[in-house]
């Protein structure tokens, strides 16, 4: 069995390893390319904590700023691991989405102790700043990278889909999912996708995938890769998928 991974190449490794451990051949087809913004700058004066909503934000921050003494709040466990990998020690994971991250910040931090720096890409999911502003926090958002969509699916992936060699595809953001739909239709893959199980990180991702027919379209019970893999295991075993609520996080 082959499974398509649509994440940026920087994020695909752990999922590829998890699939290989299950006897599934991973096929990497990154739909977004991560490009650091050369003119971006990180100003940390007056900041009490850094908020990361993606591992790409962590890695880009690591190349642009030297300080590692600030508290870090990460949207999920993978992002938290990335923060620890570049040298941060005071790291907490919200284990979910933007709403969970906002709740974690409100519980752990004091608005009187300084601003919060939200490190992100040029396009973000959810309204982290709005949620925290309602709790009295000042949030600065700095866009350190662009996630640029690719122009077309690779010839190898198109051929594999048409030959029905790919049995499953993994999607982690509404933006990536919507772009896949656009590229798949441009390549006349509507019928081919009817033979693929789509694994979506959230209902919002599933909604973006819905214009195509899938066999089936499965939503993770929580917006974490571990939950997505649990849903995949259920698909392999023939179990019905869970039905979670809408969640938001960056790509």
Element at 35 (helix H, strand E): strand 32-36
Contact between residue 102 and residue 132 where contact means Cβ atoms under 8 Å apart = yes
* pLDDT exceeds 50 at position 109: yes
> Residue 132 CB: number of other CB atoms within 10 A?
23
Contact between residue 61 and residue 208 where contact means Cβ atoms under 8 Å apart = no
Q: What is the per-residue pLDDT across 50-82, written as a single tens digit (0 to 9) for each? A: 999 999 999 999 999 999 999 999 998 889 999
Specify the length of the chain in residues: 251
Domains of the chain (ranges; CATH) run 2-31+150-237 (3.40.50.10090), 34-148 (3.40.50.10090)
Contact between residue 128 and residue 138 where contact means Cβ atoms under 8 Å apart = no
Averaged pLDDT score across all residues of the chain:
92
Helix orientation angle between 55-64 and 77-85, rounded to the nearest 10 degrees: 20
| pLDDT above 70 coverage of the chain, percent | 95
According to DSSP, the residues that pair with 117 across neighbouring strands are 50, 140
* pLDDT exceeds 90 at position 245: no
Residue for token digits 């100003």?
A: 43
* pLDDT exceeds 70 at position 241: no
Whole-number pLDDT of residue 72: 98
> Residue 66 CB: number of other CB atoms within 10 A?
9
| Beta strands across the sheet bearing 166-171 | 25-28, 2-5, 166-171, 197-200, 217-219
Q: What is the per-residue pLDDT across 110-154, written as a single tens digit (0 to 9) for each? A: 999 999 999 998 887 778 999 999 999 999 999 999 999 999 999
Q: What is the per-residue pLDDT across 181-191, written as a single tens digit (0 to 9) for each? A: 999 999 999 99
DSSP codes, 69-121: -SEEEESSHHHHHHHHHTT--SEEE-SS-HHHHHHHHHHH--GGG-EEEEEEE
* pLDDT exceeds 70 at position 243: no
User: What is the Cα–Cα distance from 28 to 114, expressed in whole angstroms?
Assistant: 41
- Average pLDDT, stretch 204-217? 95
Whole-number pLDDT of residue 224: 86
* pLDDT exceeds 50 at position 246: no
Handedness of CA 201, 206, 207, 212 (dihedral sign): positive
According to DSSP, the residues that pair with 168 across neighbouring strands are 3, 197
Tokens, residue 167: 């049995």
Whole-number pLDDT of residue 154: 97
- Average pLDDT, stretch 30-47? 90
Tokens, residue 18: 């998890």
């Amino acid at each position: 069995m082959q499974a398509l991974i649509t994440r940026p190449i920087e994020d695909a490794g752990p999922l590829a390893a998890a699939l290989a451990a299950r006897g599934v051949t991973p096929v990497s087809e990154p739909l977004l390319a991560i490009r650091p913004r050369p003119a971006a700058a990180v100003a940390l004066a007056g900041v009490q904590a850094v908020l990361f909503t993606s591992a790409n934000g962590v890695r880009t921050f690591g190349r642009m700023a030297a300080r590692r003494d600030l508290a870090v709040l990460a949207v999920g466990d993978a992002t938290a691991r990335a923060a620890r990998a570049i040298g941060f020690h005071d790291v907490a994971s919200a284990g979910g989405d933007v709403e969970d991250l906002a709740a974690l910040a409100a519980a752990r931090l004091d608005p009187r102790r300084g601003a919060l720096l939200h490190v992100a890409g040029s396009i973000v999911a959810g309204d982290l700043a709005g949620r925290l502003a309602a709790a009295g926090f000042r949030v600065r958002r700095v866009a350190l990278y662009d996630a640029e969509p690719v122009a077309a699916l690779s010839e190898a992936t198109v051929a594999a889909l048409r030959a029905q060699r790919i049995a499953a595809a993994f999607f982690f953001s509404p933006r990536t999912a919507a772009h896949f739909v656009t590229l798949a239709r441009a390549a006349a893959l509507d019928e081919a996708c009817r033979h693929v199980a789509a694994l979506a990180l959230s209902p919002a991702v599933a909604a973006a995938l819905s214009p195509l027919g899938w066999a089936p379209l499965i939503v993770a019970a929580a917006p974490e890769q571990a939950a997505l893999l649990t849903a995949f295991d259920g698909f392999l075993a023939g179990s019905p998928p869970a039905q979670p609520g809408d969640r938001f996080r960056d790509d």
